[in-house]
Amino acid sequence: MRGMKDDATPSPDGELKDELQAMEARVRKLRDTRNAFSDQARASAEKRNAIQGQYKEHREKVDLVLAEVKAIRAEVKMHKEKRNAIQAQLRDIIGQAKGHRKEKGDKKSATAEYAQLKQEVAGLEKTFETSSVGQKKEKEMIKKIKEMGRRIVELAPEVVKFEMIAVDLSDMDTAIKTLKSEADASHQAMLEAVGRADVLSKEVDEAFTHRDFLKAEGDRFHNEFVELRKKSDQTHEKITEMMVNVNEIRDKL
């Protein structure tokens, strides 16, 4: 009949409602996706923060281990320098004991001259005290002892500065034995410190390996966090754009 409406033809409002429902369903789905990205980003951030806390604590341990290694190396250096100085002193005294002299024209070392003068003074004083000599000879001996005494006083500061270990230079055999013993003791102390450094080197390697692992894990979780936040933000932008269309349709209805 003329004027009757065809029931099969959808109304404009019905089409808008269907479109609105479809768009709202998409918005809900996007919101779920955005929230999932946000939750995952939050979880990655928490893992990153936990790893970074471990990294900070471990870095303090690494610093302590390195400080210990530095102290041991300084100890090794100290023992080595002491050993070398004693050995140099020992070589000089052995040279004196064997009557070695430097090349012609070279000056005798202060230590050698000091030791020789001390021996000569001791010999003269003993002769002076135990033997009966003439008045002339006595004056000569006194004069010589005074001259040697002045020279000994002049040499003393240089000899004291040179000596690592104080020894009786008038008794060469005992002095040599003492210095050999001291040099050996310093050498053994150096070797013992080197051994401690070697043992500690394994701990240092393990500490650095674990430090690098924590750093890499922290970076990995941070990169995950950044990527997930980016996806969440992009999804939120899509929701915002769709909501403009949703609100327009709602206004029309």
Region of 3 (left: φ > 0; alpha: ψ -120 to 50; beta: rest) is left
Lowest mean pLDDT among 37-46, 108-117, 158-167: 158-167
Identify which has the larger pLDDT, 124 or 97: 124
Distance, CA of 51 to CA of 44 (rounded, Å): 10
pLDDT in tens, 85-115: 888 878 877 776 665 444 444 455 666 677 7
Global pTM? 0.52
Q: Let me know: does 156 contact 166? Beta carbons within 8 Å.
A: no
Closest CA to 55 of 219, 211, 225: 211
Q: Please state the φ and ψ torsions of residue 132, each to the nearest 5 degrees.
A: -100, 115
User: Which CA distances in Å does 8 have to 13, 103, 222?
Assistant: 14, 129, 57
pLDDT tens-digit readout, 214-243:
999 999 999 999 999 999 999 999 898 888
- Cα–Cα distance between 55 and 216 in angstroms, integer? 10
**CB contact set of 103 (below 8 Å; sequence gap of 6+):** none
Q: Please enumerate in sequence order all residues whose Cβ is within 8 A of that of 178, keeping only pairs 6 or more positions apart, or say none.
A: 165, 167
Distance CA 117, CA 149 (A): 8
Residue type, 112: A
CB count within 10 Å of CB 221 equals 20
Asked if 155 contacts 203 with a C-beta cutoff of 8 angstroms, the reply is no
Q: For the chain, how many helices (H) and strands (E)? A: 4, 0
Q: Are 192 and 83 in contact (CB under 8 A)?
A: no
